[in-house]
Structure 1
Amino acid sequence: MHSIFKPLTKHVSFTGELKTDVPLFLISNECPMTSKHCIEVGSESRRIAMLFNANVLAAETAGLLHDISAVFPNNERIEVARELQIEVLPEEERFPMIIHQKISKVMAQEIFNINDQEILNAIGCHTTLKSSSTLLDQVLFVADKISWDQSGAPPYINELNRNLEESLTHGVFAYINFLWERKDTLKVIHPWLRDAYEELKDKVRLV
């Protein structure tokens, strides 16, 4: 385990059960709201996986772990990423919140001993998605957007759910398109999001 994680784990008695350990880890590091969100996304990922014949356990695992990097404040994330030898893109440097997906990927492996590359990759792109996304990538992406971590109902939720009835990819694109239509108001446009938009726009037709 990288030394940067040791202060975060030394007071946590891990049980080996993710549904117990993720809340223990997050709450002990003063992130109770993130703990609640991760539990909800884990459940939603499981539900979406069942709908679209994805690996249910992998989806739930990815959902539980996707935001564990919340233990690092935004103003520390670029420095943390560099210490972990994570590539930092210019867009991430301007808007550090986005790089939390890459940090969570490393934490899932080093702290929670997740070695399934498909799970790790889904965690690593759950905010922006990316081109050539897998079924599990899309499951976690959609589950995170449905179980969002802000108050009230997401402004895109009806459109997303309606398109999800067509296919998982339609649901994914409904959210990406929602962002794209408002791209002038976004702080940055992550290149992975741009790539996903360009790839998927020709594959789906919003219904």
Structure 2
Amino acid sequence: MIESNFLEDLYNRIRKGGAIEDNVKIIFNEYNCNHIYQHSVRVAQMAENLAIKFKVDKNAAYIAGLLHDIGGIVPNNERIHVGQLLNVNLLPEEREFPMIIHQKISKVIAEEIFFIKDQKILEAIECHTTLRANPSLLDHVVFVADKIEWDQNGIPPYIDDLHTSLSISIENASFSYVDFLMRRKERLKVIHPWLSESYIYLKER
């Protein structure tokens, strides 16, 4: 069971003044999550590339990509507990399907351990799984980068449509993936409110 000193323990594991890349690697290694680390590095690089293409701050995109899944160090069966420890506002859908909580835990770790104060970076981290209504360009970039650099085996079933949409705009790419989910919503464990809101928002545009 993760204890109440979770953030203090994390802070004690990193190298003070060390590069963010090194400290991200340390944390993932300490929690035996190398597979998430490798995914996060790929997402950071993809986010940087997309940021350059769509004229978004590439450094912000890289940092958000690198930290987007840092909350994944918390096992699914402890995410409600840790979310409560961190005073995260947990929605009923997140309590029902705790996997989604990692995006909010990631935001807290980014802010409290890595001292990220840029709200746009924190918001992009916080909604990288579900997106949200009225997303920023940085939200789109991190969201799409995460979907391109799939964290599962095989080829993503939505990837061709996503790339086609990406040739139009980053917003179209986001909608392509959200629409893919919503057309298969009966297969989803839950429908997160932010996902529903992003679908309505993007569909209207």
Q: Do Structure 1 and Structure 2 share a fold, with TM-score over 0.5?
A: yes
| Residue of structure 2 equivalent to 1:154 | 156
Q: Structure 1 residue 14: deviation in Å? A: 4.3
Cα contact 1:8–1:29 (8 A) shared by 2: no
**TM-score normalised over the length of structure 1:** 0.94
- Counterpart code for 2:179: N
Deviation per residue, 1:1-58 (Å, 9 max, x gap): x832223343332443122221121112211111101110000000110110001000
| Residue of structure 2 equivalent to 1:134 | 136
Cα contact 1:42–1:59 (8 A) shared by 2: yes
Identity of aligned residues (%): 47
Any idea what SS the aligned residue of 1:10 has?
helix
Distance 1:131 1:7 in 2: 34
Cα contact 1:91–1:190 (8 A) shared by 2: yes
Distance 2:31 2:75 in 1: 11
Cα contact 2:13–2:26 (8 A) shared by 1: no
Distance 1:193 1:146 in 2: 18
- Counterpart code for 2:83: A
- Counterpart code for 1:17: A
Q: Structure 1 residue 74: deviation in Å? A: 0.4
Distance 2:17 2:7 in 1: 18
**TM-score normalised over the length of structure 2:** 0.95
| Residue of structure 1 equivalent to 2:76 | 74
Distance 1:135 1:8 in 2: 30
Distance 1:87 1:202 in 2: 28
- Counterpart code for 2:143: F
| Residue of structure 2 equivalent to 1:177 | 179
Equivalent in 23, 26, 45 of residue 25 of structure 2: 23
Deviation per residue, 1:38-91 (Å, 9 max, x gap): 110000000110110001000000000000011110000011111111111000
- Counterpart code for 2:36: T
Any idea what SS the aligned residue of 1:119 has?
helix
Distance 2:68 2:81 in 1: 20
Equivalent in 58, 76, 92 of residue 60 of structure 2: 58
Following TM superposition, the consecutive aligned residue runs of length 4 or more in structure 1 with deviations greater than 2 angstroms are 6-16
Distance 2:183 2:131 in 1: 17
| Residue of structure 1 equivalent to 2:47 | 45
Any idea what SS the aligned residue of 2:204 has?
coil
Any idea what SS the aligned residue of 1:201 has?
helix
Cα contact 2:10–2:113 (8 A) shared by 1: no
For 1:191-202, list aligned pairs within 5 A. 191-202=193-204
CA RMSD in angstroms, aligned pairs only: 1.2
Equivalent in 80, 88, 91 of residue 90 of structure 2: 88
Alignment size in residue pairs: 202
Taking a change above 3 Å as real, the CA distance of residues 148 and 15 of structure 1, as seen in their structure-2 partners, is: farther
Structure 1 residue ranges without an equivalent (≥5): none
